[in-house]
Amino acid sequence: MSEMNEIKRPYHHGDLKRTIIETALQMLRESEGWQFTLREIARRAEVSHAAPYKHFPDKSALLAELALIGFDQLRADLENSIAPFPDSPIKQLSSASRAYIQFGETNPSHYKLMFSSDAGVKPNQVHLNERAMSTLGVLLDILRRGQIVGAFKKKPVEAQAAACWAQVHGLTLLSIDGLLLKEKVGENAAEAALRTLLEGLQQ
Amino acid sequence: MSEMNEIKRPYHHGDLKRTIIETALQMLRESEGWQFTLREIARRAEVSHAAPYKHFPDKSALLAELALIGFDQLRADLENSIAPFPDSPIKQLSSASRAYIQFGETNPSHYKLMFSSDAGVKPNQVHLNERAMSTLGVLLDILRRGQIVGAFKKKPVEAQAAACWAQVHGLTLLSIDGLLLKEKVGENAAEAALRTLLEGLQQ
DNA sequence: AAAACATAGTTGACAGTGTAAACATATGGC
DNA sequence: GCCATATGTTTACACTGTCAACTATGTTTT
C-alpha cells in the first residue's frame, strides 16, 4: 500500500559527489562562512551521514575542492570581462578589477574560503596556490601588453601585478566585510582607489 | 600526607578572564586559525570546562574581544612607526605600511581573525568595525598632512585612504597566505607594490 | 557579627559534530 | 554467472559548545 507512494530511490545515489559539491556551494551562498556540516549536506542529499566520506577524505578536502572551483569561476569571470576591449589594456585592467571585486561581493563566503589556508583547509595547499596563481596570469598578460603598447610604465610586470592584485584583493575583502562605508571612505571608494593605482601605473 | 605536596589553589582563580585571553592569544600564535577550543583553554588555565562561560557568553564573544585587542595593538604599532618622521608624510606612509604588513606577518591568525566577521564572530560587529575604523584614522592624518605640505595630490583623502588601506590589507593577506612568491611576483613584491601606489599618490 | 546576596567556580548532562570501522548492496569486467 | 570494487549504511567514539543545578568564596546590609 504505502510503498506505492514511495519513490524507490536506488541504493546508490548515482551522482553523490556532484550533489555534495552543489549542496555545499548552496550552503556557502546561504550563510556566512563555511561552518556548514557534512552531516547537514548528507541530510539534504538524503543520504547517510557517512556517505560523503566515500568521496572526500575529510571536510577540509571538500573545502579545498570548493576553493578550486572558486578560482576557476573567478578566472572565467575575469577573462570574460576583458574580452570586449582587446586593444585597450587600460580598459581591460579596470574592467577586470571591477569584475574581480564583483565576484567577491557576489560570493563573499566562497571568496573568503578561497584564501583561507587556515580555518580547516590545509591539504594540497601547493596545488591550490598554483590554481590561485593562474588567476594572476590574466593580470600579467594585461600588464605585459600594456607595457608593449606604451600604456604602462616599463617596470617589472611582476611587481605591478602584485600591486594590482593586492589592491583588488584588499578592496574586495574590505567591501565584503562592510568596511568601505561612505561616511568613512567616501562615495565609490573602490573606483577612486583603482584610479589612484592606475595613475601610479600609467606613464 | 599528600595534601602537603599539593599547592592549594584557591577556589577562585582570581584573574581568570585575563588568563583566558592570554591563553587564547597564545593559541592564536601557536596554530593557524582559531579552531582552538574553549575546553582546551580551560584545561590550560587549570579550571573546569565551563568556567570560561562566567566571563564570556560564548566563544564568539571571546573571539570578538581578541579582535578588538588586535586592532589596539595594530594602531599602537602604526603610531610608533610614524613617530620618528614627524615632518615627512611620505616617510610616514611607507613606514606605517611596513609596520602594518609586519604586524600581519607576525600575527597571521590574529590578523585574519580581526577581519573575520564570519567564522563565528558576529556580535557587536558595529562596535568592532568602529575600532577597526580608528586604525584608518592614523592613515587619514598622514594623508591630510601630506596634502597640506604638498607631498600628495590634492584629492579626497578618504579615497586615498581607501586605496592605501586596501593596498596594505591586500599585501598583508597575500603575504600571510604565502602568495607573494618570488618566482611569481618578483623579489620584494610588497615594497615594489607600495612604491607603485605611492607614485599614484604623489604629485 | 550574622545574614543575605552576588560572583566565580564545579559537575553533570545534552545534542550535535567529524570521523573510523564493520557491514551491505549494487555494478562492471572476466 | 561470479567476484572485486565502488558506493552506501549502521554503529560507535571522542570531542565540542553550551546549559542547568549546585557550591564555595567575597561583599554588603542589617
The pLDDT tens digits for B23-81 are 999 999 998 889 999 999 999 999 999 999 999 999 999 999 999 999 999 999 999 99
Amino acid B98: pLDDT: 96
pLDDT at B5: 46
Protein-covered nucleotides on strand D (Cβ within 7 A): 6-12, 15-21, 24-26
**pLDDT above 70: residue B162:** yes
Neighboring chain B residues of A193 at a CB cutoff of 8 Å = 159, 162-163, 166
What does the alpha-carbon distance between residue A88 and residue A149 come to, in Å, rounded to a whole number? 9
Give me the domain span that covers residue A37.
1-56
In this complex, the answer to whether residue B48 has its CB under 7 A from any atom of chain C, a nucleic strand, is yes
CB A139 within 8 A of CB A147: no
- Percent of chain B's residues with pLDDT above 90: 72
Is the CB of A58 less than 7 A from some atom of nucleic acid strand C?
Answer: yes
- Give ∠ CA A66-A72-A75 in degrees, rounded to 5: 140
Distance in angstroms, CA of A44 to C1' of C6? 47
Q: Which residues share a beta bridge with B114?
A: none
* Spatial CB neighbours of A109, under 8 Å, sequence gap ≥ 6: A28, A29, A31, A32, A33, A34, B118
Let me know the angle formed at the C-alpha of B176 by B173 and B180, rounded to the nearest 5 degrees.
85
pLDDT for B125 equals 63
In whole angstroms, give the CA distance from residue A145 to residue A135: 17
CA distances, B137 to each of A41, B79, B132, B144, B162 (Å): 44, 10, 9, 10, 11
Taking phi first (over 0 means left), then psi (-120 to 50 degrees means alpha), and beta for anything else, what does residue A46 get?
A: left
Q: Cell for B35?
A: 579552531
The residue type found at B9 is R
Domain match, B25 and B89 both: no
B125: burial class by Cβ within 10 Å (0-12, 13-18, 19+)? middle
Cα B146 to Cα B94: distance, rounded to the nearest angstrom:
12
Per-residue model confidence as pLDDT tens digits over A77-125: 999 999 999 999 999 999 999 999 999 999 999 999 999 865 454 544 6
Residues from chain B contacting residue A173 (CB–CB below 8 Å)? 115, 169-170, 173
How far is B201 from B156, CA to CA, in rounded Å?
11
B48 and B95 together in one domain: no
Same domain, A84 and A163: yes
d(CA A115, CA A60): 13
Contacts of B189 in chain A (CB under 8 A): 158-159, 162
Residue B143 in this model has a pLDDT that exceeds 50: yes
Q: How many domains does chain B have?
A: 2
User: Which residues, at least 6 apart from A68, have a Cβ–Cβ distance to it below 8 Å?
Assistant: A128, A131
Inter-chain touch A190–B162, beta carbons under 8 Å: yes
How far: B53 CA to D22 C1' (Å)?
Answer: 16
Q: How does pLDDT run across A25-81, given as a tens digit for each residue? A: 999 999 888 999 999 999 999 999 999 999 999 999 999 999 999 999 999 999 999
Counting other chains too, the contacts that B42-47 makes at CB distance below 8 Å and 24 or more residues apart are: B45/B13, B45/B16, B45/B19, B45/B20, B46/B9, B47/B13, B47/B16
B8 is near strand C: CB distance < 7 Å: no
Examine the domain organization and report whether B145 and B85 are in the same domain. yes
CB proximity A85–strand C (7 Å threshold): no
The pLDDT value given to residue B186: 84
Cell numbers found for residue A122: 590545509
Verify that A77 and A4 share a domain, yes or no: no
Quote the pLDDT of residue A28. Answer: 96
Residue A3 has pLDDT above 50, yes or no: no
List the single residue in B159, B177, B200 with the smallest CB-CB distance to A200: B200
Q: Using alpha carbons only, what angle is made at residue A80 by residues A156 and A108, rounded to the nearest 5 degrees? A: 85
Model pLDDT, residue B120: 54
Domain end (from B32, B56, B80): B56
Give the confidence band of B127 by pLDDT, cuts at 50, 70, 90: low
C-alpha B33, offset from chain centre: 14
Residue B100 is part of a domain; what is its CATH number?
A: 1.10.357.10
> Looking at the predicted structure, is the pLDDT value of residue B1 above 80?
no
Task: Provide the pLDDT for residue A34.
Answer: 92
pLDDT exceeds 60 at position B86: yes
Q: Enumerate the residues of chain A whose CB falls inside 8 A of the CB of residue B156.
A: 186, 192
Would you say residue A5 has pLDDT above 70?
no
> On chain C, which bases lie within 7 A of the protein's CB atoms?
8-13, 16-22, 25-27
Side chain identity, residue B53: Y
pLDDT for res A27: 97
Q: Is A119 found in the same domain as A150? A: yes
pLDDT at A80: 98
On whether both A68 and A46 belong to a single domain, the answer is no
Query: Which is nearest to B24 in space by CA: B15, B14, B35?
Result: B35
User: In angstroms, what separates the C-alpha of A117 from chain B's closest C-alpha?
Assistant: 7
Domain co-membership, B102 together with B152: yes
Cross-chain Cβ contact A159/B35 below 8 Å: no
Nearest chain B residue (CA) to A113: B119
The size of the A-B interface in CB pairs under 8 A is 173
Q: What percent of chain A has pLDDT over 90?
A: 72
Check whether A144 has a pLDDT greater than 70.
yes
**Over chain B, what is the mean pLDDT?**
89
> Is the Cβ pair B120, A177 closer than 8 Å?
no
Chain B contact probe: residue of A122, A158, A203 with most B CBs at under 10 A:
A158
A5 and A72 housed in the same domain:
no
Asked if A95 and A156 sit in the same domain, the reply is yes
Nearest protein residue to the C1' atom of C25, measured from CA: A11
**Which pLDDT value is given to residue B185?**
85
Q: Residue A184's pLDDT is what? A: 82
CATH of the domain at B28: 1.10.10
Residues near A147 by Cβ (< 8 Å), separated by ≥ 6?
Answer: A153, A154, A157
Same domain for A48 and A65, yes or no, is no
Coil vs helix vs strand at A61: helix
Residue of chain A whose alpha carbon sits nearest to that of B35: A119
**Closest nucleotide to B53, Cα to C1':** D18
Report pLDDT for B122.
54
Mark whether A106 and A41 lie in a shared domain.
no
